[in-house]
Structure 1
């Protein structure tokens, strides 16, 4: 958590961390406004400014995909918090999601470059496998509400950020250095 907060505080003047991280285990145990956050998920909630994650699902993801993907999940949801703070809002959810993937890639890649984060052998493969696992099903319309992107789109967005930093993420240049 400290690494992602340090990353964004160095890039956004007046950065404010999310208010809290909320673990949950049961469908609807945590609400985002009037909407229950479902299990098998992690989410940023602008109402209350928090990130919630399903503990059981996260542990399962960790067991199946490894630790690197859990760091991606945090970075992706934090990316949504950054969008909220900067007033970035796209007409289609897929663009919000792909930008959050890019932000996660930039945070992980840049944090490695400065020594705040270390990848182990196989972690890049874990990340790629994880991105494939959270991709939209084949044939899902890109314009559908809630669309996140195909496996190729999600891995492309993440690795663009990982390799090229925020310059690849369609972020206003006035907000990052």
Structure 2
């Protein structure tokens, strides 16, 4: 991955000719970079906490890994839940290795963050931009957090 790019306005950064929207973080395979709306991230940091930012970056890095491994599912939700699992594995393995120390309350921040980025109730699972319900996203993340990459179905 080449870089992490913050942006402040919709359309300030593009991926494959498409402007990135506000209130988002995304991996752009066309340019091999992660971009995030800095105002949204700062707001999430203030409202949820620092652990949520670890999750956001881990999730987007996971998309970069998926591209490199050639992992592609039929439905977006499958890609997203796998990225949640892989992001959880990264954070969990980092904690186990001692390279990341979570503060008291960080696990709750991760849960709150996953709730914040869950699909709205009623969102069809097969929708092109579906990421998963709060329960699905939380389950996927913590399966990776607790079990490393084994439950993430990387084959």
Residue in 1 that maps onto 2:145: 162
TM-score (structure 1 length as normaliser): 0.87
Residue in 2 that maps onto 1:58: 41
TM-score (structure 2 length as normaliser): 0.99
In structure 2, distance between residues paired with 1:141 and 1:39: 23
Residue in 2 that maps onto 1:106: 89
Gapped runs of 5+ residues in structure 2? none
Residue from 120, 123, 129 that aligns with 1:140: 123
Secondary structure at 1:51 match in 2 = strand
Residue in 2 that maps onto 1:41: 24
- CA root-mean-square deviation: 0.5
Secondary structure at 2:26 match in 1 = strand
Alignment of 1:67-146 (within 5 A): 67-146=50-129
In structure 2, distance between residues paired with 1:149 and 1:108: 20
In structure 1, distance between residues paired with 2:137 and 2:114: 6
In structure 2, distance between residues paired with 1:54 and 1:135: 18
In structure 2, distance between residues paired with 1:24 and 1:144: 27
Q: CA deviation at 1:95?
A: 0.3
In structure 2, distance between residues paired with 1:132 and 1:168: 21
In structure 1, distance between residues paired with 2:16 and 2:42: 26
Gapped runs of 5+ residues in structure 1? 1-17, 173-177
Q: How many residues were matched structurally? A: 155
